Amino acid sequence: MYMRAGDGRVHGIYSSTDVANLILKTTGTALMDKKKLHKLLYYMQGWTLAALGRPAFANDLQAWVDGPVSVGMRRDTHYATCFEVANRPLSNPLAPQDRDLLALMYLIAPFYAQQQTQALVDSTHAEAPWLDARGGLPPPMPIPARRSLTTHCTATFHSTPASWV
């Protein structure tokens, strides 16, 4: 599914795996692991909601013990390496034409990619979208049914100056 804006720009709802593919092409795979990639998807989703008023991908983020996890990307790439994810064919070939998404990705992804994986996990554990979805359970406690991070909470959090790094 995609839309063409009045000025010819293309945007749509992409899969989290497509966005992960683009993130890896932006940041490289050398210092990337799948746990970190899930956190980068979370930050891309939040900043895209805040800056562009639309999601980067169909929302499928859940509050797992180690922070937000994209269940779609996990399902699609569970046994794949980051290198393999970066080289998968896109399910939506228009994603690389989404100039607004790519511009935001070039700002956001490298910033978060330079951080250590555990630092990103710790950051997400302190942020409202993950805390809200977990309903007050502390990080080491698994939740009975994994709960989704709400688009509203994620957008609101990333729109507030307190979340600006």
Residue ranges of the chain with pLDDT lower than 50? Answer: 1-10
pLDDT tens column, 5-43: 444 444 557 899 999 999 999 999 888 999 999 999 999
What does the pLDDT read at residue 90?
Answer: 82
What does the pLDDT read at residue 162?
Answer: 58
Torsion, CA 47, CA 37, CA 112, CA 57, rounded to 10: -10
What does the pLDDT read at residue 47?
Answer: 94
DSSP-H helix ranges across the chain: 16-27, 34-52, 71-77, 82-86, 99-113, 117-125, 128-134, 151-159
What does the pLDDT read at residue 141?
Answer: 72
| pTM score of the predicted model | 0.84
